[in-house]
Structure 1
Amino acid sequence: MDLSSYVVAIWPYLGTYLGFGLAFVLIARLMREKRRPSATVAWLLVIWFVPPLGVPLYLIFGGRKISRLTRNKSPLNIALPNETGTISSSAFGVISKGNRTGMQPTGVHAFKSLIREIRAAKESIEITTFILSHDTIGRDVVKELSRRARAGVEVRLLLDAVGSFGMKTLYMLELAKAGGRIERFMPVFPFLSLGRANLRNHRKLAIFDRKRVIIGGRNIGKEYMGPIHSPKRWKDLSLLIEGPAVMQLSAIFEADWAFACRKKGEVQRPIKSVPEFQGGEPSTIEIMVSGPDTRGDPLYEKILSIIQEAEKSVTIVTPYFIPDEVLQRSLMVKARSGKSVRLLIPRRSNHPITDLARNDFLRELSEAGVEILLFNDGMMHGKVVLVDEDIAMTGSANIDLRSLFVNYELAAFFHSQKEIGEITRWVDELCQSTEPFTDTDENEQPLLKSIAEDLSRLIAPLL
């Protein structure tokens, strides 16, 4: 048989051969990666049994710690202790003393604070957000940024390329014409680097004159903030920080910005010193990041450690709940040992598949004695962990596999009673609009719903 006849003979099967061949290569790569067993099994099933679907999905969304994309990223830790001991390194992040905070418990507080800080900025404004919405709130914020840019204030806006996809709008062009700079974090079209679509910058921070910072869970859009109260607005939490913690937050922005602009020759700028805030009760804050640009999974490890060390109580507030096996088991053990463990989630989130995937986890926790509260007054998007009334966390990270192991995330841990008390009161207010989780008997579920939940949990490690 000559070559042409051989090619004709195998041509109908060539795609199948190539698909399974590539599947073998990807499976070998998958087994070398340090993934959770559930995630490895989920990807193995999809790649092996449905190669035409699993192979391209893994190439696009399978990346986690891709060293070639992040090895040139500047260090995120400025943990060198200074002369006064204001800044020091912890096992997971950077601790700073002498800060002042202002909580933003509602979308009205958040919007007014953001606009006020933009208008008051004299030298620079740096904003990172996952979503900048195509709505009145997004336009209003960009217009305010344009005004400050025309006034000579340096404006840098860093948008996630997927979360803020397609932001080539007239008002964005207005910001660019006014002198503002707009960059997109890790674009996915064209697919210059396989796996990058899975690595999203979920961090949210806005820095003003490198002296004041807003962080939290809010994106920029009408769902998250606005000038007047709206019953449809999502419940969320953010805060303003002044003091030495701003230095570490500035370092995070500079590293992300330089990475997004690396092809333009951008380098990370030096971080200006920020003195301790004078007056009032000083706050101690531990700033922590997680993502492909960190060694290990420090945010997950910190949350796990404080839960396992809890002596009295654990409260978790999250819009999406898909834990890994260790975190799930830790919560169950705490509840069975007599500790108060409380989980607050929305009755229905904006991601139905995630809601289906969480139900088995919730039943296990409920049977172990965890109090599960379903927020029934709209969507709840806040992220909080409270332990023993001694430590509180808030930031951009959800308690799900994507936030804890894949996304670029940012969180602040508070050790001062002022912030712990304010966050506790915010949680207590949410609890007034909740109902208990009662869906504890899996055998009483309709057949189709049980199948949907089983399939959702199977793909939960991929969500």
Structure 2
Amino acid sequence: MREFLNTAFYWVVTELTTLLGFGLAIVFIAHLIRQKRSPSSTLAWLLAIVLIPYIGVPFYILFGGRKMKRMAARKQRVYAPGTPKKADLIDFDTQRLLRSYGVPEESQGNRVEIVETGEEAYARLVEMIEGAQSTLFIMTFVLSNDEVGRALIEMLTRKAESGVTVRLLIDDVGSWWLPRRALAPLIKAGGQVAYFMPVFHIPFRGRANLRNHRKIAVADHRLAFAGGMNLTASYIGPLADPARWRDLAVMVEGPTVDDLEWLFFSDWKFATGEDLAMQFPRPLEPSHNHAPATLSHRPGNSVVQVVASGPDVEGDPLFESLLSLVFFARERIWILTPYFVPDEMLVRGLALAARRGVDVRLIVPWKSNHPITDVAREGYLRELHEAGASVLLYRPTMLHAKAVIFDDKLVAIGSPNMDNRSLFLNYEVALYIFSAESVGETARWAERLMAGSTVYEPKRGASREIAESVLRLVSPLL
């Protein structure tokens, strides 16, 4: 009798567990289908949930979120309401697409400086911090406890002690290994530090996979630094280092600074509840008086547009604008990215552009710091190579720059990689710079990288092609 009861008990538990698993799978499949995803992303998650529900469902709970409507509704708008300084400057279909998502129009009168090396970036940041008189707002993905990170924290501490308002926002996952004690002097001096969407937070506010990858620094409401560089010795430093990762950043002065600062305000309020926009209201017209000494206060001639993406943004304006620009390009599309695991539509658009005679060049590192993405990218590289695009592998060191040049009119520089995570998941920001001078400067920098690159040659072998095909199928999950 006891044996019968034990058997019956285990049978009931097994059946209930199975029913619960299938029930949860159905719930999450319904949630998955309702979300606006690419077909490849939907299929990859669907296979994971159906074929391995005991793994797929927990992973979907932790990493499957994309757009979080309730959270976005609570978050301050990423773009400022009412921007009278803006004007219709560029008649692009892409601009109309961006405006349909509420992206601010491009602004004129900006002075832009392309920052090409880690030592130059470090020098600009130091000048920016030391020259700040009233406010310093810094947001980064990675802040390390190395010589660079410690030096920057020490500088910020001194500025806070002198009465400058200092706010530092770091991503909880990107800066996971930064000990809290390293920030104690800054906090004691009056600076404020916040972690964006902590993983272990009660109550649970977000998903572990939605990370803030934006890198922005703003001083005195008038000077901004943005791009792909993290605050660690791998990216920046006082001395030249041939092993340092190659990356790009932008120094900008002008109306665009308002848009970058507002984006910081939005992320800061979400992380802390403090409304900096109320403390520092936007001027009706941009002022260039008393600008920091790092750039001249003379108005510039660059037209710049700030394009943000992420769970706090309606739709996918960054991805869709890049896709639109790919289809409208007539002369060239040059892409620099550390990781190339993009959406199928973007790859197909680039292949079509190459076939219709556009000069398509893709520069990626020979080996990145994520080996699995290097294998996953192989099928995409082969497709572009076979379409006639130039695929180049940069060998001297890790290439971490994120830039795209379209014809001679526009260069996009910022934090997004050419992968599904940056284009559809993470909080990202890019600067669309409509300046022949900036385009030319970035193109010349890219050409110097090409000189240190080797031409891609497709790797053959049945086992490799099978592995590539499998990874391509699950690439939306990477």
TM over 0.5: yes
State how far apart, in whole Å, the 1-side matches of 2:362 and 2:253 are: 31
| Aligned match for 1:275, one of 268, 271, 287 | 287
1:327 aligns with 2:346: yes
For 1:368, the equivalent position in structure 2 comes to 387
Could you tell which deviates more after superposition, 7-16 or 400-409? 7-16
SS at match of 1:275: coil
SS at match of 2:412: strand
1:304 aligns with 2:319: no
State how far apart, in whole Å, the 1-side matches of 2:27 and 2:122 are: 49
Contact kept, 8 Å, 2:170 with 2:194, in 1: the verdict is yes
For 2:375, the equivalent position in structure 1 comes to 356
State how far apart, in whole Å, the 1-side matches of 2:445 and 2:470 are: 35
1:272 CA displacement:
2.7
Contact kept, 8 Å, 2:217 with 2:226, in 1: the verdict is yes
Could you tell which deviates more after superposition, 170-179 or 345-354? 170-179
For 1:154, the equivalent position in structure 2 comes to 165
1:337 CA displacement:
1.0
SS at match of 1:43: helix
1:32 CA displacement:
1.2
Give the AA of the match of 1:211. Answer: R
State how far apart, in whole Å, the 2-side matches of 1:288 and 1:332 are: 25
For 1:288, the equivalent position in structure 2 comes to 307
Could you tell which deviates more after superposition, 9-18 or 97-106? 9-18
1:14 CA displacement:
4.0
Matched ranges for 1:313-462 at <5 A: 313-439=332-458, 444-445=460-461, 447=463, 449-462=464-477
State how far apart, in whole Å, the 1-side matches of 2:85 and 2:68 are: 36
> Per the alignment, do residues 85 and 266 of structure 1 end up closer, same or farther by CA in structure 2, a change over 3 Å counting?
closer
1:65 aligns with 2:49: no
Could you tell which deviates more after superposition, 4-13 or 247-256? 4-13
In the TM superposition, what whole-angstrom CA distance separates every residue of 1:96-128 from its partner, at most 9, and x where no partner exists? 111112221000000111111111111111000
Could you tell which deviates more after superposition, 157-166 or 167-176? 167-176
Give the AA of the match of 1:127. Answer: I
Contact kept, 8 Å, 2:86 with 2:107, in 1: the verdict is no
1:305 CA displacement:
1.1
SS at match of 1:159: strand
Contact kept, 8 Å, 2:62 with 2:209, in 1: the verdict is yes
State how far apart, in whole Å, the 2-side matches of 1:297 and 1:426 are: 29
What's the TM-score, normalizing by structure 2?
0.90
For 1:96, the equivalent position in structure 2 comes to 107
In the TM superposition, what whole-angstrom CA distance separates every residue of 1:191-241 from its partner, at most 9, and x where no partner exists? 744761121111000010111000000000011000001121000000211
1:290 CA displacement:
0.7
> Per the alignment, do residues 13 and 173 of structure 1 end up closer, same or farther by CA in structure 2, a change over 3 Å counting?
farther
State how far apart, in whole Å, the 1-side matches of 2:73 and 2:299 are: 42
For 2:22, the equivalent position in structure 1 comes to 20
SS at match of 2:208: helix
Contact kept, 8 Å, 2:341 with 2:420, in 1: the verdict is yes
For 1:118, the equivalent position in structure 2 comes to 129
Contact kept, 8 Å, 2:109 with 2:299, in 1: the verdict is no
Query: Tell me, which stretches of 5 or more residues in structure 1 are unaligned?
Result: none
State how far apart, in whole Å, the 1-side matches of 2:96 and 2:302 are: 16
1:410 CA displacement:
0.4
State how far apart, in whole Å, the 1-side matches of 2:84 and 2:137 are: 25
1:81 CA displacement:
4.5
1:20 CA displacement:
2.4
State how far apart, in whole Å, the 2-side matches of 1:289 and 1:64 are: 15
State how far apart, in whole Å, the 1-side matches of 2:150 and 2:393 are: 33
1:275 CA displacement:
2.7
SS at match of 1:115: helix
State how far apart, in whole Å, the 2-side matches of 1:393 and 1:84 are: 19
State how far apart, in whole Å, the 2-side matches of 1:413 and 1:238 are: 13
> Per the alignment, do residues 87 and 172 of structure 1 end up closer, same or farther by CA in structure 2, a change over 3 Å counting?
farther
For 2:51, the equivalent position in structure 1 comes to 49
SS at match of 1:241: strand
> Per the alignment, do residues 80 and 195 of structure 1 end up closer, same or farther by CA in structure 2, a change over 3 Å counting?
closer
For 2:291, the equivalent position in structure 1 comes to none
Contact kept, 8 Å, 1:251 with 1:271, in 2: the verdict is no
Contact kept, 8 Å, 2:44 with 2:476, in 1: the verdict is yes
State how far apart, in whole Å, the 1-side matches of 2:375 and 2:203 are: 34
For 1:241, the equivalent position in structure 2 comes to 252
State how far apart, in whole Å, the 2-side matches of 1:80 and 1:53 are: 47
SS at match of 1:308: helix
For 2:12, the equivalent position in structure 1 comes to 10
1:25 CA displacement:
1.1
SS at match of 1:221: coil
State how far apart, in whole Å, the 1-side matches of 2:360 and 2:89 are: 32
1:217 aligns with 2:219: no
1:372 CA displacement:
0.3
In the TM superposition, what whole-angstrom CA distance separates every residue of 1:74-102 from its partner, at most 9, and x where no partner exists? 12223635268499986423311111122
1:144 aligns with 2:146: no
1:12 CA displacement:
4.3
In the TM superposition, what whole-angstrom CA distance separates every residue of 1:41-98 from its partner, at most 9, and x where no partner exists? 1111111111111111000000000112221111222363526849998642331111
SS at match of 2:124: helix
1:338 CA displacement:
1.5
Query: Tell me, which stretches of 5 or more residues in structure 2 are unaligned?
Result: 289-295
Contact kept, 8 Å, 1:210 with 1:272, in 2: the verdict is no
1:423 CA displacement:
1.1
| Aligned match for 1:132, one of 122, 143, 153 | 143
> Per the alignment, do residues 87 and 255 of structure 1 end up closer, same or farther by CA in structure 2, a change over 3 Å counting?
farther
CA RMSD of aligned residues (A): 2.2
> Per the alignment, do residues 386 and 327 of structure 1 end up closer, same or farther by CA in structure 2, a change over 3 Å counting?
same
